[in-house]
Amino acid sequence: MKEKKFTIDLTKKLKEAFKERNLKITPQRIAIYEEIVNSKEHPSTVHIFEKIRRSFPNISFDTINRTLTTFAEIGLIKTVEGSGDSKRYDPNIEQHHHFICVKCGRIIDFDSKELDNLQLPTELHNKFRILRHKVVVEGICDKCSKELIKT
């Protein structure tokens, strides 16, 4: 298992995706996209808002929220399922799985060929059309384990 590296030409990708859908490119939108793609944390809307506000003090929470929803709708980013009340976003739109720390909420990407080829119950296949699956592993991350030992 190795943590996934993520490198792409950001602004180019964003511009292409926006042009295709006739959406306007604004410095704010570029900043939001760069923030999420450069974050390894699967950030929440609040997290993005706090970071972006440093460069754009007048931006509203609602604008950030709408921008992230748009990004997710056009497939630039994904939402992380089952991560609690606050929606979390994922810049990695390729097939991968998640380890979620139940203590600090960190979400770590990992790849696994075995999990990609997981055999799902036949009932599921009979009943539904399966599009994709993602495995979520819950546990306590390395950082939190160290904290536990200290106390």
Q: To which residue do tokens 């974050």 refer? A: 39
> H/E element holding 64?
helix 61-73
Of residues 63, 92, 115, 134, which one binds Zn ion by CB under 5 A? 92
Of residues 17, 30, 72, 101, which one binds Zn ion by CB under 5 A? 101
Contact between 141 and Zn ion per CB under 5 A? yes
Choose the binding region for Zn ion from 5-13, 64-72, 83-91, 112-120 (rule: CB under 5 A): 83-91
d(CA 8, CA 148): 37
Shortest reach from residue 144's CB to Zn ion, in Å: 3
Contacts of 23 (CB under 8 A, 6+ apart): 70, 74
Residues of the chain by 3-state class (helix, strand, coil), percent to 5: 45, 15, 45
Contact between 104 and Zn ion per CB under 5 A? yes
- Give the residues lining the site for Zn ion (CB under 5 A): 90, 92, 101, 103-104, 106, 109, 141, 144
